[in-house]
């Protein structure tokens, strides 16, 4: 496995990972979503590549002195193998390098695997917010 910065040619692979994540409801244009991320100069995206294919990705947006959560998704085939942890560690390292003093993550309250990972890496719950039927949790880590 190799972790590297995403390139334009990764767009379809990232879109497939996101589409298969089960995180989104309703109709989404994943290619447009990923294309918009890749165009944003403040968006930092890393991919986990296995045998030439995108197995997962992590994005965050640099906003002045903090890194705001973007996305973290791993294909079902590779979930539970530490790829999400490696992607998150890489993004934390990059955010520090860019001068960020904290990273903020937003996660659904029923995404227990992600919450567990964030806790293990030192993120702390700072806020909860109900959006319709979904309870979103905000977690932060000082860098």
25 pLDDT above the threshold of 70: no
138 or 29, which is more confident? 138
Q: What is the pLDDT of residues 42-85, one digit of tens each?
A: 899 999 999 999 999 999 999 888 999 888 999 988 989 999 99
Coil/strand/helix, residue 112: helix
CA dihedral 107, 8, 36, 56 (to 10 degrees): -10
**Residue 120: what pLDDT?**
96
**Residue 132: what pLDDT?**
85
21 pLDDT above the threshold of 80: no
The pLDDT-based confidence of 24 (bands split at 50, 70, 90) is low
pTM for the model: 0.88
Coil/strand/helix, residue 128: strand
Q: What average pLDDT is seen over the chain?
A: 90
**Residue 22: what pLDDT?**
61
**Residue 32: what pLDDT?**
77
27 pLDDT above the threshold of 60: no
**Residue 23: what pLDDT?**
63
125 pLDDT above the threshold of 90: yes
User: Phi and psi for 89 in degrees, rounded to 5?
Assistant: -60, -40
Coil/strand/helix, residue 18: helix
**Residue 37: what pLDDT?**
80
């Amino acid at each position: 496995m190799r972790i590297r910065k995403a390139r334009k040619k990764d767009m379809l692979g990232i879109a497939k990972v996101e589409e298969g994540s089960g995180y989104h409801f309703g109709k989404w244009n994943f290619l447009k979503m990923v294309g918009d991320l890749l165009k944003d100069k403040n968006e930092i995206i890393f991919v986990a590549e296995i045998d030439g294919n995108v197995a997962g990705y992590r994005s965050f947006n640099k906003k002045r002195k903090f890194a705001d959560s973007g996305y973290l998704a791993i294909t079902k085939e590779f979930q539970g193998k530490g790829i999400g942890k490696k992607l998150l560690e890489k993004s934390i390292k990059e955010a520090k390098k860019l001068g960020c003093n904290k990273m903020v993550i937003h996660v659904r309250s029923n995404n227990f695997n992600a919450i567990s990972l964030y806790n293990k890496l030192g993120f702390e719950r700072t806020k909860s917010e109900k959006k319709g039927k979904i309870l979103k949790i905000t977690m932060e880590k000082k860098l």
